[in-house]
Structure 1
Amino acid sequence: MSFSEKKKEKSNHLAFVITIIFSCFLGTYLDLLFVSKKMYTFPMRPFPDIFTVNIIFLFLVLPIFVAFFLQISKTLFAFSRTLFIILIGLCASIFEQFADNLGWFTHSEAWHHSYSLFGYMIFMFLMWRIYSWFQ
């Protein structure tokens, strides 16, 4: 492997790590914001006396999900990546309703699951832009 290939690979790893860390920070901030606005709550969460958000989702599930997203997105062309992001938004909206039924979430009457559809689409697009920018 040449020096420039090693440098590019190191840059890819750094962009990957920065993007995942940023996703944790942004996800935490958004959850704190929406929980404080009483748009939703997390009735089933670890350490409920300390955290108002679900730290397992924010620091385990979300980073793993973003890592898979980045790995798959690297192999896709722009149009396919856009469709993939739309699919993620649809799946997030559906999963959120499923999680509601399981008691993992409780949403206010003002919440519409379309917020998650577009929110996750914007979130994943932003994660891709950050990753691309740091490469």
Structure 2
Amino acid sequence: MNIARQSKSSSSPSSQKRPFFSGRNKASLHSYWMSMLFASWLATYLELILTGTQLYTFQARPLTNIFSIDIRFTLIGIPVMTLFCVTALSWMNLLQRTLFLILIGLAMMLFEKISGRLGWIGYSDQWQHMYSFLGYPAFILVVFFFFTWCESARGNI
């Protein structure tokens, strides 16, 4: 329903309604999905390596007789975190990205300490929380590079 019509003498282009997921947005949506799948896959293998070397264990996890990792984290937490981080990083400049990644590292280091106190994760004596401070930003950066590669491969950058 048109409330106001554009004047015939107006030189501005008329605004046509376009579907949200059209053209570039569909390609971007594909890049987001691919990044979320890549991050979930990468996190699963990193978790399998770290739990396999006994650096930490997930004490409260579903399907304990099947999985040595917490699949809720790798199937839900990582994709949601990836969507948030990739979207945020794509809007930021270099300084903002650097500060954001430092903040993510600090937040995950703090979250690990809290989850350890709550009994969700058990850490070995060799585990240093500095690994998370450096590891999570590196992980997010790799996933963001994958996202930008997907975007450039589809011609969206």
Same fold by TM-score greater than 0.5? yes
Alignment of 1:29-68 (within 5 A): 29-68=45-84
The residue that corresponds to 1:82 in the other structure is 98
Q: State the 1:7 CA deviation.
A: 3.0
CA–CA distance in structure 1, aligned partners of residues 128 and 69 of structure 2? 19
Kindly tell me the number of residue pairs found equivalent between the two proteins.
Answer: 133
What's the secondary structure of 1:106's corresponding residue? strand
- Which ranges of structure 2 fall in alignment gaps of 5 or more residues? 1-16, 152-157
Identity of aligned residues (%): 31
Alignment of 1:93 onto 2:102: no
Equivalents in 1 of 2:40, 2:132: separation in Å? 17
Highest Rg: 1 or 2? Answer: 2
| Cross-structure match for 1:112 | 128
**TM-score where L is the length of structure 2:** 0.81
Take 1:112 and 1:73, find their aligned partners in 2: how far apart are those partners?
Answer: 27
- Please report the TM-score for the alignment, with normalisation by the length of structure 1: 0.93
d(CA) in 1 for partners of 2:111 and 2:141?
19
Pairwise CA RMSD: 1.5
Q: Which amino acid in the other structure matches residue 111 of structure 2?
A: F
Q: 1:71 aligns with which of 72, 87, 96?
A: 87
Following TM superposition, where does structure 1 have runs of at least 4 consecutive aligned residues deviating by more than 6 angstroms?
Answer: none
